[in-house]
């Protein structure tokens, strides 16, 4: 009979330890499915909160991205890079100022065209012709990609 009680108590103890490992401690310390270490909210799924909104890119960041794109396609030396960076930085700052002013669409369009023509003239005067033509081709490629995306969006809207 002692042997039976011994085996029964051993079986209960092993089952309890296994269930504690599976489900946590009993009700007094966080509940069967809860956190055994105190804070009951810790066991719930928590989504990361956005404490800081994404900041818009600065003119320097925009220019750095475009210079990297140019470097990927053609090899330029340090002097050409410095000239290109200064011209593009100045034009980008002017474009950002225009966006901040929030002008009417016609005034904005004419101002952007003027900034672009000044930028193109400076690039043509200060860079070698081969590099200028390459930059012009990259700009055309980027513009055509944007136009294609707009056309695709229009087609999608008309289909639905």
Compute the radius of gyration of the chain from its Cα atoms.
33
Confidence of residue 10 (pLDDT cuts 50, 70, 90): confident
> 121, 135, 118, 133: which is closest to 81 by C-alpha?
135
Can you give the residue ranges of every domain in the chain?
A: 2-32, 59-159
Residue 3's pLDDT band, with cuts at 50, 70 and 90, is confident
pLDDT score, position 49: 60
| pLDDT for the residue 140 | 86
pLDDT greater than 80 at residue 147? no
| Per-residue model confidence as pLDDT tens digits over 14-60 | 776 666 566 555 555 545 555 555 555 555 555 666 555 678 889 99
Model's pTM, two decimal places? Answer: 0.58
The 10 Å Cβ neighbour count of residue 3 is: 7
Determine the straight-line distance between the first and last CA of the chain, rounded to whole angstroms. 80
Residue with tokens 């599976």: 22
Q: Tell me which H or E stretch contains 72.
A: helix 59-73
Q: Report the pLDDT value the prediction gives residue 123, as an integer from 0 to 100.
A: 92
Please indicate whether residue 32 or residue 75 has the higher confidence score (pLDDT): 75
Read off the pLDDT of residues 129-138 as tens digits, 9 standing for 90 and up: 988 998 888 8
Run of H or E including 107: helix 105-126
CB 67 within 8 A of CB 88: yes
The predicted-structure confidence for 102-116, as pLDDT tens digits, reads as follows: 889 999 999 999 999
**Exposed, middle or buried: residue 121 (CB in 10 Å: 0-12, 13-18, 19+)?**
exposed
């Amino acid at each position: 009979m002692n042997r039976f009680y011994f085996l029964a108590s051993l079986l209960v103890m092993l089952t309890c330890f296994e269930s504690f490992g599976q489900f946590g401690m009993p009700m007094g310390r966080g509940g069967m499915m809860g956190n055994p270490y105190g804070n009951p909210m810790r066991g719930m799924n928590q989504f990361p909160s956005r404490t800081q909104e994404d900041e818009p890119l600065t003119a320097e960041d925009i220019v750095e991205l475009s210079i990297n794109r140019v470097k990927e396609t053609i090899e330029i030396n340090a002097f050409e890079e410095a000239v290109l960076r200064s011209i593009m930085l100045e034009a980008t700052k002017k474009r950002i100022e225009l966006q901040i002013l929030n002008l009417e669409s016609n005034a904005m369009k004419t101002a952007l065209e003027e900034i672009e023509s000044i930028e193109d003239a400076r690039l043509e005067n200060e860079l070698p012709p081969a590099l200028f033509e390459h930059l012009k081709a990259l700009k055309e490629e980027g513009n055509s990609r944007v136009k294609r995306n707009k056309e695709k969006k229009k087609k999608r809207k008309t289909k639905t």
